[in-house]
């Protein structure tokens, strides 16, 4: 596999996680995952920005993208079962990483929507890669590529969502 095609496959691989991470802005709202509960420090566990609808909707959207990818490039995944498992783990991992990031942001007393450089852009990616590792992984060069480009994709997607009126802040 050539260098450029290797990087394109890395992007194709992680696409369910990107979609899952971006989808809650469009499908979220409703009941917060933490149910309004507070941690030992007196602050909310996750906050109002992390909802069941956003989490489930994001995981569903990312998983659906993975299934569509399978039908476009079945050789990349092998079987539909593998594609479904990989897409689910990437999607779930992305939103789990985002949830963990939100937990740490609340502990640092950062308000909802406040930026946390690095945590916001890479937490979802690292968690997605870790959960998907047992099913299918990337080589180290592809992972480094994703670690470098993901912050820029994240910032661009957030700015786009802000300009569209879907987010109240551009980060």
- State the Cα–Cα distance between residues 60 and 92, nearest whole angstrom: 9
Domain residue spans of the chain: 3-163
**What are the pLDDT digits (tens) for 75-122?**
888 899 999 999 999 999 999 999 999 999 999 998 887 888 888 889
pLDDT, position 18: 97
> How many other C-beta atoms can be found within 10 angstroms of the C-beta atom of residue 122?
17
Number of H helices, E strands in the chain: 7, 0
Q: CA of 134: how far to CAs of 7, 68, 138, in Å?
A: 21, 21, 11
Give per-residue pLDDT as tens, 7-46. 999 999 999 999 999 999 999 889 999 999 999 999 999 9
pLDDT of 40 reads 96
The phi, psi pair for 124, rounded to 5°, reads -65, -40
């Amino acid at each position: 596999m050539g260098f450029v095609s290797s990087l394109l496959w890395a992007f194709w691989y992680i696409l369910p996680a990107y979609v899952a991470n971006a989808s809650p802005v469009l499908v979220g709202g409703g009941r917060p995952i933490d149910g309004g509960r507070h941690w030992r420090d007196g602050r909310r566990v996750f906050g109002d920005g992390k909802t069941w609808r956003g989490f489930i909707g994001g995981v569903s959207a990312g998983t659906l993208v993975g299934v569509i990818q399978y039908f476009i490039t079945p050789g990349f995944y092998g079987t539909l079962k593998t594609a479904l498992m990989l897409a689910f783990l990437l999607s779930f991992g992305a939103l789990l990483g985002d949830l963990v990031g939100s937990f740490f942001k609340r502990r640092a007393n950062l308000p909802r929507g406040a930026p946390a450089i690095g945590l916001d852009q890479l937490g979802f990616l690292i968690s997605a890669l870790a959960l998907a590792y047992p099913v299918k992984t990337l080589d180290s060069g592809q992972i480094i590529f994703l670690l470098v480009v993901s912050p820029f994709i994240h910032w661009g997607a957030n700015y786009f969502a802000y300009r569209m009126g879907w987010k109240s802040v551009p980060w």
